[in-house]
Amino acid sequence: MTASHLTPALPVSDMDSALAALRSRGLRISAARRLVLESLLAADSPVTAEQIADGLGGRLPRSDLASVYRNLDTLEEIGLVRHVHLGHGPGRYALASAGEREYLVCDRCGVLRAVEPRELDGVRAQLRAAFGFEARFEHFPIVGLCANCRD
């Protein structure tokens, strides 16, 4: 059920507009669904399904992991949510932001840097020119060594 057929992003930054988006597609507003949204609104960087299920370490009620995955999937299908794969380890989810985000992740220390897509347009242009390849770093980030770890 992995939402790979990415629907256009539908950025929201408050609970009410998120709920409106759900209602407008006939999706229901359940406690579990609301909790996933609360977690994502509270998080300041992409979080794992497990962190959400654990109530962000006690700050919110816990919920069932399978339901969290299902809800993240649903929310991603309607464009409210996006997820990134940071090397090994579980995927990380965030609310879709206006203008999406692309990522750079450090292989050594794991630090994640989100950038605006236009900051990578030069890179994209080079890759398009050299290989006819249209790169996207929103779902699978650029991996390497950050300024700190580079020594």
Partner DNA sequence: TTTTTTGCAAAACCTTTGCAGTTGG
Partner DNA sequence: CCAACTGCAAAGGTTTTGCAAAAAA
Report the interface residues with DNA, using CB under 7 A.
1-2, 23, 26-33, 48-50, 63-67, 69-71, 73-74, 89-91
Q: Is residue 66 near its own copies by the rule CB under 8 A? A: no
Residue 8 binding result from its own copies, DNA, none, given CB thresholds of 5 to 8 Å by partner type: none
45, 112 Cβ separation under 8 angstroms: yes
Residue 70 binding result from DNA, its own copies, none, given CB thresholds of 5 to 8 Å by partner type: DNA
Q: Is residue 136 near its own copies by the rule CB under 8 A? A: yes
Q: Tell the smallest beta-carbon distance from residue 69 to its own copies (Å).
A: 15
Count other C-beta atoms under 10 Å from residue 50's C-beta: 11
- Phi–psi pair at 104, nearest 5 degrees: -125, 130
